[in-house]
Amino acid sequence: MLKKCAQVLAVAGLIIVGSSFCVSAAGEDVQPQIDAIKGALPKFAIPMREVGDRFQNIAFAAEGGNWGLAAYMGKYMNVALNPAQVTKPKEYADWKNFYEGGFAKVTKAIASENIENFRKEYNAVIPSCNECHVGMGYGFIKVVKLAAPADQGIEYKLASKAADVPK
């Protein structure tokens, strides 16, 4: 019995030593790969371009009664900036504060499917976008409401409910 316990302990010790060696070796080999992946992720400007397009599309969807599309655009407007959590954490924190703060009123207006409230909240958030751009040193980027949607290949007047968006 004692011999069996000693064998088990010896094997366990070898596993622990071997595991720590593998982790150490893997850490050395994996870090450059992690850095390369991080370097390939979009920083802030590329996802923000998608945010801008989706933001514009929200208004046309709401005006057309396509509340599902408006809700979908708002949801994925936020998701578009996920890479910035890794590549630009400070800027992402600013974005998160905006999305969960000022933009939340737009999200609520979409959920209520009240066009007058939506117009009020959507138009009120545009100056916040521009203030943020100025604060981050990008005052030359000024959001204006487009005369036509950013994406022309979508039916904005398709009747839907905000709750139609899958979770």
Report domain extents, the chain.
1-40, 45-164
DSSP type of residue 165: S
| pTM of the predicted protein model | 0.79
17 pLDDT more than 90: no
Looking at residue 26, its pLDDT comes to 53
- Residue 38's CB is within 10 A of a number of other CB atoms, namely 11
> For residues 143 and 130, is the Cβ–Cβ distance under 8 A?
yes
44 pLDDT more than 70: yes
Looking at residue 29, its pLDDT comes to 86
Residue pLDDT, tens place only, 88-114: 999 999 999 999 999 999 999 999 999
**What value does the mean pLDDT take over residues 53-80?**
98
Q: How confident is the model at residue 9 (pLDDT cuts 50, 70, 90)?
A: very low
**What is the percent of the chain where pLDDT is above 70?**
84
Q: What is the mean pLDDT of the chain?
A: 87
- The Cα-based distances of 57 to 43, 77, 99, 111 in angstroms read 23, 10, 16, 16
For the record, the structure tokens of 20 come out as: 């720590």
DSSP type of residue 167: -
